[in-house]
A = this chain, B = another copy of it.
Amino acid sequence: MSILPKSVTNLIEEFARLPGVGPKTAARLVFYLLSKPADDIERLGKAVSALKKDLTQCGVCFNYAEKNPCAICANNERNKKLIAVVEEPLDIVAIEKTGFDGLYHVLGGVISPIHGVGPEDIRIDQLIHRVREGKVKIEEIILATNPSLEGEATAMYIHQQLSSEPVKITRLARGLPVGGDLEYADEATLSRALEGRKEY
C-alpha cells in the first residue's frame, strides 16, 4: 500500500479501525470519497470532528444528550413511571422506533466476569437510587438487556437487587422473531417461544 498517497493510507487505516470495516472496505470507502467533491468530504470531516462537541451525558438516564437532563427525561409527555433498562445508548434508538413512551436507564455495559466487569462497574446503583429516591414514583422497570448470556445474568442480578422495592419488574419477551422461520429457529429460542405461548 506504500504506493498510495499518505493521506489516503492514513484514512484507510482510520476507517479500518471501525467495527465491521476491514482494510478492503476501508479502501473502498476512501476511494469513494476521493471521487466526491471536496465539499462533501469536508462536511463528513466536520461532522466527525463535531461529534462530541456540545455533547454531554444525561444525569438521570445516562444517555448521550445535548442538555442535562436529556430531551427524553425532560419531556413531560412521556410516562415517567416506566423505565426501560438498556445496556447501551444505541439500544434506545431501537426501542424508540417501537413508540415506547417511558424513560430509559443506560447501564453502560453488562456484568461479565470474563471481561472483569462486575455489578459495581455498570450503573446499577444509580438505577436503585432512581427507584428509591426519584421524584416520580416508578411503577415498572422493564429489563431490556440483550437476550445473551451476559444480558440475562445482568437482568437477573438487577431483579434480585430490586426485589425488595415496591416496583414491578419485567423482562422483554423471548420468542420467534417476527418474519422469522420456525425451521431456522434455534432450540433455545423455540423453547422460549413454547414456554411463552399465548392463548389465541
| Residues of A that sit less than 8 Å from B by CB | 1, 3-8, 10-11, 14-15, 17-21, 25, 27-34, 38, 40-55, 64-66, 70-72, 88-90, 92-93, 96
> Are B45's CB and A48's CB within 8 A?
yes
**Closest approach, in angstroms, between the C-beta of A179 and any C-beta of chain B?**
16
> Are A32's CB and B7's CB within 8 A?
no
3 shortest A-B CB distances, which residue pairs?
A: A45-B49, A45-B48, A31-B90
> Are A5's CB and B43's CB within 8 A?
no
A47 / chain B contacts, CB cutoff of 8 Å? 7, 10-11, 14, 45
The one of B5, B28, B32, B52 in contact with A64, judged by C-beta atoms closer than 8 angstroms, is B5
Copies in the assembly, this chain: 2
**Closest approach, in angstroms, between the C-beta of A27 and any C-beta of chain B?**
6
A32 / chain B contacts, CB cutoff of 8 Å? 18-19
- A33 CA to B10 CA in the complex, in Å? 17
> Are B20's CB and A52's CB within 8 A?
no
Q: A18-B32, A51-B30, A51-B34 are in contact. Are A3 and B41 (CB under 8 A)?
A: no
Please name the residue on chain B nearest to A43 by beta carbon: B14
Q: A46-B49, A49-B49 are in contact. Are A29 and B18 (CB under 8 A)?
A: yes
> Are A28's CB and B20's CB within 8 A?
yes
- A29 CA to B47 CA in the complex, in Å? 13
Q: List 24 A-B contacts (CB under 8 A).
A: A1-B93, A3-B71, A4-B64, A4-B93, A5-B55, A5-B65, A7-B52, A8-B55, A8-B64, A10-B47, A10-B50, A11-B48, A11-B50, A11-B51, A17-B40, A18-B29, A19-B32, A27-B93, A31-B89, A31-B90, A34-B51, A41-B49, A45-B50, A45-B51
- A10 CA to B50 CA in the complex, in Å? 9
